[in-house]
Amino acid sequence: MKKKILIISGGISKERSISLKTGFQVAKELKKNDYNVKICEPNFELSHKIKKFKPNIIFNALHGQFGEDGYIQTILETFNIPYTHSGVLASAQAMDKEISKKIFLKNKILTPKFIKYSFDMNKKKIINIVNEKLKFPVVVKPINEGSSVNVHICNKNNLFFNLQKLKIYNQVMIEEFIAGREIQVAIMGKKKLGAIELKPKRKFYDYEAKYNPKANTQHIIPVNLSKKNLEKILSIALKAHKTLGCRGITRSDFKFYNNKFYLLEINTQPGMTSLSLVPEIAAFYGISFIKLLKWILSDASKNR
């Protein structure tokens, strides 16, 4: 009998379009390999569709808020059906950049310095605080958002302007800007899968660089690092994965500067689109897309 896989994709986050692409790619590959697949949105009909379809496994293809922050995971827990990627607590901790960075620091994982911004701070006050604690330039980002959505590199002149643009969010972070190389690491359960370096033509690896094929971001694999440094960055990513209690696949985003690796954040639900990094890393190490998906499904079953 064909295994039934229900894929949840779409949603209401700013990463909806990427989630739909992930869901489509996963469904296409699983159908080619004799799985019974259905795709649905995480809306008010979700419960009815799960009960009617009775899937063996739920593939969570959501990205961003409500999809990888513990919200949908909390709902899925009530069905007692295996679902892919990390659980409630790990998802919530990883998505919250303030919490995850505090956990990294407590566990001696290097991450850029940061301060939490309060919207009642005036221009002069925040500039003084940044000068004192971080120095310019800085990175401004929402605390609970993914895929570099609404991330800005700021100097003294445009900091306050960019902060005001983020009033749609309850919480915003101002982070030390780390120059250097962009390196991403994939972890597969307890395995250090591999790393890839990105050279964006844009100012940094933002949303446009990630998902627009015309952005011409260069993907470099294998990464030009010494054996010692490669092992070091892989080990840091695995440590972060374990420290947050993640399961399945994660992708950690690093900056490499002055021979130090700075962990920016960990993504508990990496994309599975044609431009996504985890499938590319897996393919380089001999793991086809269908093998990767089968492993993710198997891992979900083991962790139920």
**Any catalytic annotation for residue 251?**
yes
Taking each helix axis from N to C end, the angle separating 289-302 and 16-32, rounded to the nearest 10 degrees, works out to: 100
Question: How does 240-250 read in b/e, with b if 16+ C-beta sit within 10 Å?
Answer: bbebbebbbbb
Which of 11, 15, 205, 207 is flagged as catalytic? Answer: 15
Which of 10, 11, 194, 271 is flagged as catalytic? Answer: 271
How is residue 125 written in tokens? 């006050």
Which of 35, 71, 207, 211 is flagged as catalytic? Answer: 211
Closest CA to 104 of 203, 241, 6: 241
Residue 271 CB coordination number (10 Å): 24
Q: In angstroms, how far apart are the furthest CA atoms of the chain?
A: 66
Q: Is the dihedral of CA 242, 245, 251, 256 positive or negative?
A: negative
How is residue 98 written in tokens? 């303030």
Give CA–CA dist 192/189, Å, rounded: 8
Which of 147, 148, 162, 276 is flagged as catalytic? Answer: 147
Give CA–CA dist 168/171, Å, rounded: 9
**Any catalytic annotation for residue 253?**
yes
Which of 10, 253, 262, 276 is flagged as catalytic? Answer: 253
Q: Are 193 and 256 in contact (CB under 8 A)?
A: no
Which of 68, 175, 265, 299 is flagged as catalytic? Answer: 265
State how far the alpha carbon of 123 is from the alpha carbons of 64, 136, 139, 161, 277, in Å.
30, 14, 16, 9, 38
Pairing status of strand 249-257 against strand 218-220: unpaired
Which of 19, 86, 144, 267 is flagged as catalytic? Answer: 267
Residues acting as catalytic residues = 15, 147, 211, 251, 253, 265, 267, 271
